[in-house]
């Protein structure tokens, strides 16, 4: 045991001294094989053991802070794999991240892979810890003093990591910690979306923009594709939720273009927002191949898209109602409602126009009956109002004659694509 | 939002907690530590009264002067017999919280006279009767003393608490109880004659603490923050004479540092031989108990708090209930919004500083929110709304659905899409089924769809105070509707139609609106029809202007 320990810390020291980030990540990770093997050889962490660990760490690792980091990562692994104490594991992992933040301040780009490993594991462990707390609250049905806010807390620690990356003023760009910015921001996005604190995600973007305008953060295109895709995906969704669909389309499309061929889940996530955006902006429907490759998207969207193409308001409403919960939680609902008025309703009016043999003078009552046919019972004034909005937004060309109760449609393409 | 304001308004509350944890321990320590520190204490203690040359005492009144020399005549009276301390403890234990002020007064008389007569160490405190009869019970009191007491009280309370027996007593019996407990003894006013700076220090430091009303519930523990604050004051104004030794300086520094960290008082054991006065180490009261006001005035002008609240001006819950009744009545009869808003704000403040969060609180906020809405004061409404949200989250009964509906409408007013998204995600099916919320959701849909026809019908049928919130953005939507109408209808539309479609109750009101926005020039006076094509550019401009305006969260 002592020999293993010695060897472990020697490798740790070598990795620190040599800036071998990859090795160091494996050593530090609570999922690293060597660490797991070693902590598992202990059944209880007695005082004597901790003393030994500290002593060996102090003897082999030169730097005080790295000693603490090594010992803390050891404690995390022990809590997870032996003591099975997720709360303790979380506390130690949080400490570990904080320690690493401090060490990172005096190092450069080489440390980034280690940071990625530790922050990512912090997120996972924090989620586990929250899950654990929630279960405990459920079981005891009493409002325990502890709240499931570990992920929130972890986000604060990781936010600090972001600052450490953003504020690297001394090292020249090629070696700068700034190359960690987009990874960390993406990780924060993931957490904030999970927590439902979208405003925090928006404020991270603001911080980034503020730093970028100072001119020292390279553009996201220069970063690894993985960072860029995740970042663009989230910025796209943020724009989508703000109903800035053009911006959403731009970012989502960029994310999709650079997304790894085999990362189908990621492609699916991107398309989940990109498909309705395309429909709303350009009335563009996906090809069959898309449904084929992404059966889940087919389940969600196919009925709705088909109904919207036909102007089948009734089917659209029914499909929408069936998926309301899903759309609301994924923040798609408002957009799907928008599609209903901007895409589906004009199609329905178009159907009426086609059914009246493309007459350019269609009585308001004809449209009213068309609506009635799909189960929408409204008066003529409401029909006129909807028609007016369509004309105003350019989905229908023509004008309404209030006096004669007819809608006069343009001879030339009254329902432009 | 509910919690932060509490903290904000009672800044010392949080910091007091950890200190409080030590105080019980420190009480016993201070008592047992007495013999060691007695001589030094005496030095410090007797000096304020000796030092007629110190800036402070030179400012004091003649009466104070005459009494001051008397105390030192006792020799070294600053240290009390243990039996006296026990006696004081018994006295306070024997009375209810409401009586503590009176007891304090009595005790002070008893002890002052004991000191005056040099009997502090000779009286058998263990067998002595408790001064339960209030003022009458003071048996040792001499007439002269009675007279002097009034004058000296200020001094003894404020300044020489460390010197005279009175001062020391107050270490044990809680000086703050004097300050806050009995309205008759208020040194925050009387000490004005001291010096401005000291007075500042005293009043601010004493106000800045929370102990105040705690005295209603507590018994033995000394309140020492005020002590130490006052002691600090002493060292400030008397530093020329008796506090100038380097040991004194160190002590002062130590004392200052003690407030820095929770471990401060542990790391500063009372050193033998330094004049570390018994009280110094216990820094704070125990648990942060409820602050309860004592004001019985129904009405109160709102004043933004810049320091900890004074219980004399804070109304307790039962008074506030009467206040609410009065305000409701006044609002009905007078309809003076400026007055009513101010009164409600002061009520909310009193509730906040006393941490009252119950159905009454909800009621107050709800009523204020409604009145604010009625008067188009969206800023005030929004403050109430924020508080109500957290109160409802605590499951306090009220009208959560009504106010959720208002919030939806308010978010439409501020055009806050991301908050609206968050709100929609949290909506439960039961909430959606609620008529009032369903109405608000329909308004939301109509606004985003630019469905002016539906919107205007919803506007005119809005339940509760919803219409008042819609008022705040309806003109914006009217301009949008007019632009659409002018674009889509040809060649003209009747005024009657406009009245319906942009939500006016009469053609006259509609015409006035069009006139205000210079659209009336396109109306044929004979037929009362609007020539849409000609009106379109103006309508476009009106809309652009209406939507350009930056929202300032509805403040008026």
A50 domain-assigned: no
Distance of residue A380 Cα from the nearest chain B Cα, in angstroms = 11
Question: In 3-state terms, what secondary structure has residue B199?
Answer: helix
A376 CB within 8 Å of a chain B CB: no
pLDDT at B132: 67
Size of interface A-B (CB pairs under 8 A): 79
pLDDT of residue B78: 53
CA distance, residue A171 to nearest chain B CA (Å): 37
For chain B, count helices (H), then strands (E).
Answer: 28, 3
Nearest to B449 among A241, A341, A400 (CB): A341
Mean pLDDT, all residues of chain B: 67
Would you say residue B508 has pLDDT above 90? yes
Interchain CB distance below 8 Å, B450 and A196? no
Minimal Cβ distance to B488: which of A333, A381, A388:
A388
Banded pLDDT at B215 (limits 50, 70, 90): very low
Smallest Cα distance from B500 to chain A, Å: 10
Contact between chains at B417 and A241 (C-beta distance less than 8 A): yes
Interface contact B289, partner A, CB < 8 A: no
Residue B488 is nearest to which of A202, A333, A391, comparing CB atoms?
A: A391
Pairwise CA distance, residues B404 & A213, whole Å:
40
Residue A11 makes CB contacts below 8 A (sequence gap 6+) with: A23, A27, A34
Q: Tell if the CB–CB gap between B489 and A381 is shorter than 8 Å.
A: no
Which residue, among A388, A398, A401, A409, would best test binding to B if mutated, counting the most B CBs under 10 Å from its CB?
A388
A387 interface with B at CB cutoff 8 Å: yes
B477 in reach of chain A (CB within 8 A): no
User: Which of the given ranges, A23-27, B20-24, B157-161, B243-247, has the highest pLDDT on average?
Assistant: A23-27
Q: Which of B481, B489, B494, B497 to mutate to test the interface with A (most CBs of A within 10 A)?
A: B489
What is the number of residues in chain B?
A: 556
Residue of B nearest to A382 (CA): B453
Please report whether residue A59 resides in a domain: no
Q: Is A7 helix (H, G, I), strand (E, B) or coil?
A: helix
Q: Which contacts qualify for B53-58: CB closer than 8 Å, 24 or more apart?
A: B53/B241, B54/B237, B54/B238, B54/B240, B54/B241, B55/B195, B55/B237, B55/B238, B55/B240, B56/B159, B56/B194, B56/B195, B56/B198, B56/B237, B56/B238, B57/B159
Q: Residue A67 contacts by C-beta under 8 Å, 6 or more apart in sequence?
A: A54, A57, A58, A61
In chain A, residues with a C-beta closer than 8 Å to the C-beta of B420 are 334
Give B98-116 pLDDT, tens digit per residue.
666 677 777 777 777 777 6
**Whether B451 and A408 lie within 8 Å, measured CB to CB:** no
Chain B positions in Cβ-Cβ contact with residue A392 (cut-off 8 Å): 450, 483-484, 487-488
Residues of B in contact with A391 (CB under 8 A): 484, 487-488
B28 touches chain A (CB under 8 A): no
Mean pLDDT of B75-102: 66
Q: Do B484 and A328 touch (CB under 8 A)?
A: no
Distance between CA atoms of A151 and A159, rounded to whole angstroms? 12
Average pLDDT of span B81-87? 73
The reported pLDDT for the residue numbered A141 is: 61
Q: Which positions in chain A touch B490 (Cβ < 8 Å)?
A: 399-401, 408
Q: What is the pLDDT of residue A148?
A: 87
pLDDT value at B52 more than 80: no
CB contact under 8 A, B454 and A382: yes
Question: Does residue A349 belong to any structural domain of this protein?
Answer: yes
Percent of chain B with pLDDT over 90: 31
Give domain status of residue A189, yes or no: no
pLDDT band for position B39 (50/70/90)? very low
Q: Is residue A148 part of a domain?
A: no
Q: Compute the nearest-CA separation of B380 from chain A (Å).
A: 24
Quote the domain boundaries for residue A397.
305-409
Smallest Cα distance from B393 to chain A, Å? 14
Residue B12 · residue B211 · CB < 8 Å: no
| Omega of the bond leading into B442 within 30 degrees of 0 (cis) | no
Q: Which residues of A134-148 are buried (b: 16+ CB within 10 A; e: fewer)?
A: eeeeeeeeeeeeeeb
Across the interface, which of A241, A389, A392 has its CB nearest the CB of B418?
A241
Give the torsion sign (CA, A90, A95, A101, A106).
negative
Band (pLDDT 50/70/90 cuts) for residue B65 is very low
Chain Cα centroid distance, residue B510: 48
Residues of B with Cβ-Cβ distance to A385 under 8 angstroms: 451-454, 501
CB B106 within 8 A of CB B99: no
Instruction: With a cut of 50, say whether residue B377 has pLDDT above it.
Output: yes
Helix B165-173 vs helix B224-237: crossing angle, to nearest 10: 150
B488 close to A (CB below 8 A): yes
- The continuous run of DSSP H or E covering B388 comes out as helix B378-393
Preferred mutation among A402, A406, A407, A408 to probe B, highest tally of B CBs within 10 A: A402
Neighbouring-strand partners of residue A400: A407, B489
Vertex B190: Cα angle to B188 and B194 (nearest 5): 95
A386 contacts in B (CB within 8 Å)?
451, 453
Least CB-CB distance to B484: which of A334, A392, A408? A392
pLDDT of residue B223: 38
Question: Do the domain assignments include residue A351?
Answer: yes
The answer, for A329 touching chain B at a CB cutoff of 8 Å, is yes
Residue linked to tokens 């395309």: A278
Distance from CA of A386 to the nearest CA of B (A): 7
CA distance A324 to chain B (A): 10
Q: A388 touching B, CB under 8 A?
A: yes
Question: Does residue B193 have a pLDDT over 50?
Answer: no
DSSP string, A123-173: HHHHHHHHHHHHHHHHHH-S--S--S-HHHHHHHHHHHHHHHHHT--SS-G
Taking CB atoms and an 8 Å limit, are A386 and B451 in contact across chains? yes
Identify the residue whose tokens are 């050889």. A41
- Chain A residues inside the 8 Å CB shell of B427: 328
- Site from A389, A398, A405 to mutate, B interface, most B CB atoms within 10 angstroms: A389
Q: Of B409, B411, B384, B410, nearest to B398 (Cα)?
A: B384
State pLDDT tens for residues B314-342. 899 999 999 999 999 999 898 899 999 99
A328, two tokens? 């609301």
Residues B512, B478 contacting (CB under 8 angstroms):
no
Q: Which pLDDT tens digit goes with each residue over B266-307?
A: 444 434 443 433 333 344 444 456 788 888 888 888 888 888
Counted domains in chain A: 1
> How far apart are alpha carbons B43 and B275 in whole angstroms?
7
Task: For chain A, give percent helix, strand, coil, nearest 5.
Answer: 75, 5, 25
In this prediction, residue B67 has a pLDDT band, given cuts at 50, 70 and 90, of very low
Q: For residue A357, is it within any domain?
A: yes
Q: Tell me, what's the pLDDT at B494?
A: 93
Whether the Cβ atoms of residue A189 and residue A201 lie closer than 8 Å to each other: yes
B208: pLDDT strictly greater than 50:
no
B536 in contact with chain A, both atoms CB, cutoff 8 A: no
Check CB contact under 8 Å for B453 and A399: no
Closest CA to A344 of A380, A305, A318: A305
- Whether residue B422 and residue A198 make contact (CB cut-off 8 A), yes or no, is yes
Nearest CA in chain B to A391: B488
Do A392 and B424 count as a contact with CB atoms less than 8 A apart?
Answer: no
A376 to chain B nearest CA, in Å? 14
CB contact under 8 A, B453 and A382: yes
Which pLDDT value is given to residue A30?
A: 87
Within an 8 Å CB–CB cutoff, is residue B489 touching chain A? yes
Does residue B263 carry a pLDDT above 90? no
Residues of chain A under the 70 pLDDT cut: 1-2, 43-45, 141-145, 215
Give CA torsion, residues A306, A308, A311, A316, to 10 deg: 90
Cα torsion B489, B490, B492, B493: sign: negative
Here the CATH number for the domain that contains residue A349 is 1.10.10.10
Interface with A, mutate which of B443, B453, B500 (most A CBs under 10 A): B453
Mean pLDDT across the stretch B346-373? 92
Q: What tens digit of pLDDT does each residue of B224-242 get?
A: 444 444 333 333 333 333 3
Strand order in the sheet with B523-524: B492-494, B529-531, B523-524
Contact (CB<8Å) A389/B454: no
In chain B, whose CA is at the least distance from the CA of A241?
B418
- What's the pLDDT tens digit per position in A159-173? 999 999 988 887 888
Whether the Cβ atoms of residue A230 and residue A258 lie closer than 8 Å to each other: no
Q: What's the gap in Å between the CA of A359 and the closest CA on chain B?
A: 18
- pLDDT tens readout for residues B379-408: 999 999 999 999 998 889 999 999 999 999
Whether residue A375 lies inside any domain: the answer is: yes
Judge whether B225 is closer than 8 Å to chain A, CB to CB: no
**Nearest residue in chain A measured CA to CA from B421:** A331
């Amino acid at each position: 045991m002592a020999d293993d320990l010695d060897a472990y810390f020697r490798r740790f020291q070598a990795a620190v001294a040599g800036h071998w980030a990859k090795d160091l990540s494996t050593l530090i990770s609570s999922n690293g094989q060597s660490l797991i093997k070693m902590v598992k050889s202990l059944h209880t962490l007695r005082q004597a053991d901790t003393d030994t660990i500290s002593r060996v760490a102090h003897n082999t690792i030169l730097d005080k802070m790295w000693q603490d980091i090594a010992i803390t990562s050891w404690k995390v692994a022990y809590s997870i794999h032996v003591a099975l104490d997720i709360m303790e594991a979380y506390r130690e992992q949080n400490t570990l991240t904080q320690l690493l933040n401090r060490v990172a301040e005096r190092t450069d780009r080489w440390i980034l892979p280690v940071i990625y490993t530790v922050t990512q594991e912090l997120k996972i462990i924090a989620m586990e810890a929250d899950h654990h707390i929630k279960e405990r609250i459920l079981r005891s049905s009493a409002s325990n003093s502890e709240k499931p806010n570990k992920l929130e807390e972890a986000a604060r620690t990781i936010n600090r990591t972001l600052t450490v990356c953003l504020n690297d003023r001394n090292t020249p760009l090629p070696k700068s910690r700034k190359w960690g910015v987009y990874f960390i921001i993406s990780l924060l996005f993931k957490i904030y979306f999970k927590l439902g604190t979208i405003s925090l995600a928006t404020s991270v973007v603001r911080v980034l923009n503020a730093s970028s305008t100072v001119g020292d953060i390279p553009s996201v295109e220069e970063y690894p594709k993985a960072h860029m895709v995740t970042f663009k995906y989230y910025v796209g969704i943020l724009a989508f939720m703000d109903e800035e669909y053009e911006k959403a389309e731009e970012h989502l499309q960029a994310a999709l273009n650079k997304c790894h061929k085999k990362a189908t889940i990621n492609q699916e996530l991107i398309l989940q927002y990109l498909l309705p955006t395309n429909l709303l902006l350009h009335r563009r429907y996906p090809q069959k191949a898309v449904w084929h490759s992404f059966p889940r998207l087919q389940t969600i969207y196919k009925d709705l898209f088909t109904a919207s193409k036909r102007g089948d308001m009734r089917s659209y409403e029914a499909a929408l109602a069936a998926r309301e919960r899903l759309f609301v939680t994924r923040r798609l609902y408002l957009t799907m409602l928008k599609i209903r008025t901007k895409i589906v309703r004009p199609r329905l009016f178009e159907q009426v126009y086609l059914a009246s043999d493309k007459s350019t003078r269609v009585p308001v009552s004809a449209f009213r009956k068309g609506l009635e046919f799909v189960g929408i019972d409204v008066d003529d004034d409401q029909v006129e109002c909807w028609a007016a909005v369509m004309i105003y937004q350019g989905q229908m060309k023509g004008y309404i004659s209030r006096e004669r109760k007819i809608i006069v449609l343009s001879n030339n393409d009254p329902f432009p694509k | 939002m509910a919690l932060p304001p509490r903290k904000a308004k009672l800044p010392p509350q949080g910091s007091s907690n950890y200190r409080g944890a030590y105080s019980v321990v420190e009480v016993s320590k201070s008592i047992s530590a007495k013999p060691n520190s007695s001589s030094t204490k005496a030095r410090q203690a007797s000096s304020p009264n000796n030092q007629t040359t110190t800036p402070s005492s030179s400012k004091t009144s003649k009466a104070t002067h005459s009494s001051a020399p008397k105390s030192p005549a006792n020799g070294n009276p600053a240290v009390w017999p243990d039996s006296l301390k026990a006696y004081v403890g018994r006295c306070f234990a024997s009375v209810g919280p409401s009586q503590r002020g009176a007891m304090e007064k009595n005790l002070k008389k008893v002890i002052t006279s004991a000191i005056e007569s040099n009997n502090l160490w000779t009286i058998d405190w263990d067998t002595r009767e408790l001064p339960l009869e209030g003022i009458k019970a003071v048996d040792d009191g001499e007439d002269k003393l009675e007279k002097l007491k009034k004058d000296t009280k200020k001094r003894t309370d404020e300044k020489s608490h460390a010197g005279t027996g009175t001062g020391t007593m107050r270490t044990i019996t809680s000086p703050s109880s004097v300050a806050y407990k009995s309205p008759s003894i208020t040194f925050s006013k009387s000490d004005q004659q001291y010096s401005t700076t000291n007075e500042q220090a005293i009043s601010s430091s004493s106000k800045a603490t929370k102990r105040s009303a705690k005295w209603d519930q507590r018994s033995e523990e000394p309140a020492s923050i005020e002590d130490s604050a006052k002691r600090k004051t002493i060292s400030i104004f008397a530093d020329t004479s008796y506090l100038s030794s380097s040991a004194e300086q160190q002590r002062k520094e130590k004392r200052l540092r003690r407030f820095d960290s929770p471990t401060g008082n542990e790391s500063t054991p009372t050193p033998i031989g330094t004049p570390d006065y018994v009280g110094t180490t216990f820094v704070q009261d125990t648990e942060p108990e409820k602050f309860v006001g004592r004001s019985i005035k129904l009405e109160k002008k709102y004043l933004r708090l810049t320091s900890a609240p004074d219980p004399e001006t804070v109304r307790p819950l039962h008074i506030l209930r009467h206040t609410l009744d009065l305000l409701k009545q006044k609002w009905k009869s007078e309809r003076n919004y400026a007055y009513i808003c101010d009164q409600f704000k002061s009520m909310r403040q009193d509730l906040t500083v006393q941490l009252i969060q119950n159905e009454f609180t909800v009621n107050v906020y709800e009523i204020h929110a409604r009145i604010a809405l009625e008067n188009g004061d969206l800023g005030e409404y929004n403050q109430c709304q924020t508080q109500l949200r957290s109160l409802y989250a605590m499951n306090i009964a009220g009208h959560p659905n009504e106010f959720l509906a208002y919030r939806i409408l308010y978010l439409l007013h501020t055009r806050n899409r991301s908050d609206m998204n968050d709100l929609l995600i949290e909506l439960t099916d039961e909430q959606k089924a609620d008529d009032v919320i369903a109405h608000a959701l329909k308004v939301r849909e109509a606004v985003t769809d630019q469905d002016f026809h539906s919107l205007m019908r919803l506007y005119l049928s809005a339940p509760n105070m919803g219409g008042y919130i819609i008022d705040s953005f309806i003109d914006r939507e009217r301009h949008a509707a007019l632009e659409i109408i002018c674009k889509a209808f040809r060649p003209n539309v009747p005024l009657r139609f406009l009245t319906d479609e942009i939500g006016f109750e009469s053609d006259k009101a509609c015409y006035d609106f069009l006139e205000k926005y210079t659209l009336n020039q396109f109306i044929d006076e004979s037929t009362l029809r609007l020539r849409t094509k000609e009106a379109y550019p103006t309508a476009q401009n009106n809309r652009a202007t209406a939507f350009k305006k930056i929202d300032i969260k509805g403040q008026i």
